[in-house]
Structure 1
Amino acid sequence: MLKSELRRLIREKKGQFTQQQLCELSLPIVGRIKPMLKDAKTIVAYYSLPDEVDTHGFIDQLLADGKTVYLPKVISNEEMVLCRYTGAESLSLGAFGIMEPVGRQIAADEVIDAVLVPGMAFDGDGNRLGRGKGYYDRFLKSLSHPRPQLIGVCFDFQKVDMVPTASTDVRVDVVV
């Protein structure tokens, strides 16, 4: 199956759920992620779109737990950077209608312990299908050592047998 066909199929599946149902389906997923981040100090998360696993409350909980949280901010057609999240008031509407942080950019030497990675689909080998722009793959390839734990975040219906891949794609370590 081509990447475009798989994206279409997943969009159709997502469309079968109401916003409320997706929020309810998000709760156990977030519950499975939380213990994975117990020892993490610095986490890259994402401020979810309406059709993604809802991370809004979870990000605030991470902040309340004393974690340092960074969110992506798109700065060009090719690049996203990480900016510090300090609360919902530190967000503004950014590229592609995504709420993005307006805080300070991550320091070049800051160690990232874990990255929550959204996707359209994931397979059992950690292969990920994104939305097609390549932002996350470029970002994930740029991470320095030690490499953080990459946690793919999706609904169960987004888990598929095989995600078509290219040499530019980056695998995640675990899919939740």
Structure 2
Amino acid sequence: MTWGSGGDPRTDEDLLRAHVSGDAGAFTTLIERHQAYLWSLACRTSATPEDAADALQEALLNAHRMAHRFRSDAKVTSWLHRIVVNACLDRIRRNKVRATIPLPEYDVLPLADPRDQMGDVDLSLSIGRALDALTPDQRAAIVAVDIEGYSVAEAAERLGVATGTIKSRCSRGRVRLAELLGHLRQ
């Protein structure tokens, strides 16, 4: 797994150890290797792209500072996953305290596209609102299992909770989503 890393043959664990030992480029190589995945994770877990960018930046700073605390009992990608998700959830919690109303974006849609763009927009908005209505923990579990396709065990490892906790969060979240999106069944 060396794409985006300039061909560095070191494992993720080797790169993290090298970073802790003072190798100035090791952490950059590690993050470049997983940047696309971490960005998509932040986007799927956050409410807006701006929140995703801020949360990812926070998460990477935390990972950089706390690299010496990494225990080799998990994969580096699981450790990074957990840090990014936690940063996103923290940002969601902070935003709820100071709720704002986003301004609508007025994009001009091309007229030549035969698809029902308003229907796509309505569907996207409905799903986004429904995900936002879940608790942050339910949302993280649903995103990990149902959107990213992780198994319950993998999601539990990445989120740092028991598998039973993931199962119950997914179950409750799916019930809530079914209630909120019931109007789409027609």
Q: TM-score, normalised to structure 1's length?
A: 0.25
The structure carrying a bigger helix percent of its residues is 2
Bigger radius of gyration = 2
The structure carrying a bigger strand percent of its residues is 1
Greater relative contact order (Cα < 8 A, sep 6+): 1
